[in-house]
Amino acid sequence: MTGRHRTLRPMRPLLRALPLIACLVLVLVGCDAGPGPSAPRAVPSTSAAGPDASDRPDPSVVVVDQLGGPWRTSPVLVDNPHIAIVSDACAAKARENLGETEANLPTALVDARGEHLLTVIMADDLNAIVCLARFDDTGTAATADSVDRLSIRAVAPVDKAAITIASVTRDEGAGGRTIAFGRVGPDARAAKVGFGDNSVVLASSAEGWWATWWKGAERAISYAAVNNQSIVIGSAKPPLGEVEARVGPASWWIDPRAAAPTATSTALHAIVREESCASGASPEGRIEPPIIELSDTAVVVTYRIRRKAGGQDCQSNPPFAVGLKLPEPLGKRALLDGNETPPRDATKPPAG
């Protein structure tokens, strides 16, 4: 940008009669020593602030304009203040809907590409959630529309140049769009999604995650990890339809048809029932490994089930028999279902 400047004018003929003084003056003003004065030249302002601050765009204003602007094939580079705003909104929603553990997860990735919409991944080595959020028109406040736990199996980290597709889902509530995210290995510089018309969408990527979204329900035909020259170094087979990584709660209890557990029991027979809408389908193949918490007085077991892709009816879901393996004998401890707060006695079915 052009800053304010002053112009130095040539020295007058008087200096020609004083060669030594002339040379000193010429050096001081940065001109070439020689038989006569140099041509005038512009000298940048010596102001400590440099060019006039009014000539420089405010980075935060640029980010706000891009966040609320039209959809982009490349992500918006969200600055730290705006990452903090949307992370706080997602954490507050997670604290309300999921719990303190999820609320305190660090932010791994923020994908923004216009229309005020953001996809936020918050994760550590054991837990991960996805938050769909939006900024207001001013860019000073964010709202978390939803927060969901993610399947441990679906979001396992990957090595080298590998890329996985954890989720591809439709969001009809935002004018119709497709949201996709997954994991990418440390050898990759970025991830990109390709379509049948040869167009490409560049995903946001950070901390071993990638995420993006595009308008409509068009199916992507390629998912690729690329190096710093945009050359494909890894790929994943594109799914034919939607893929779910979000998990929902499930209640469980000891199977009344089996023998009651004893102090020495480590293998139990249990019944699991999905609580999320699943059109009455069996949870077979979608049940996550149970989370088992041991204390001196209780064994708390929590089951979660990966949601079915697409829209589902919310009729009652059928109970499903599973085997439960404890890491140590039950002893005299209470056996509790961690799906409820406080945990419920799991030796009998839940009320209702």
Q: At residue 314, does pLDDT exceed 50? A: yes
> Do 128 and 174 share a domain, yes or no?
yes
Residue 310 domain boundaries: 247-345
Q: What is the pLDDT of residues 253-300, one digit of tens each?
A: 999 999 999 999 999 999 999 999 999 999 999 999 999 999 999 999
Q: Would you say residue 2 lies in a domain?
A: no
User: Would 1 be classed as within a structural domain?
Assistant: no
What's the pLDDT tens digit per position in 87-132? 999 999 999 999 999 999 999 999 999 999 999 999 999 999 999 9
Whether residue 221 sits in one domain with residue 124: yes
Are residues 184 and 66 part of one domain? yes
Would 159 be classed as within a structural domain? Answer: yes
Give yes or no for residue 203 having a pLDDT over 90.
yes
Residues 88 and 220 grouped into a single domain: yes
> Closest Cα to residue 339, out of 305, 307, 313, 315?
305
User: How many domains is the chain built from?
Assistant: 3
Q: Are residues 196 and 82 in the same domain?
A: yes
Q: Are residues 116 and 176 in the same domain?
A: yes
Query: Does residue 91 share a domain with residue 46?
Result: no
Q: Which of 209, 236, 263 corresponds to the end of one domain?
A: 236
Q: 3-state secondary structure string, 277-332?
A: CCCCCCCCCCECCCEEEECCCEEEEEEEEECCCCCCCCCCCCCEEEEEECCCCCCC
Residues 21 and 111 both lie in one domain: no
The verdict on residue 351 lying in a domain is no
* Burial zone of 143 (CB within 10 Å; 0-12 exposed, 13-18 middle, 19+ buried): middle
If you search the block for the tokens 């990890």, which residue do you land on? 225
* Overall average pLDDT of the 134-159 stretch: 97
What are the φ and ψ backbone dihedral angles of 342, each rounded to 5 degrees?
-70, 165
Does the residue 350 lie in any domain?
Answer: no
Instruction: Kindly state whether residues 50 and 69 are assigned to the same domain.
Output: no
User: Is 122 domain-assigned?
Assistant: yes
**Same domain, residue pair 335 and 306:** yes
5 belongs to a structural domain: no
- Do residues 98 and 75 both lie within one domain? yes
Phi, psi of 312 (to 5 degrees): -130, 145
What is the DSSP pairing of strand 334-337 with strand 298-306?
parallel
Residues 42 and 176 in one domain: no
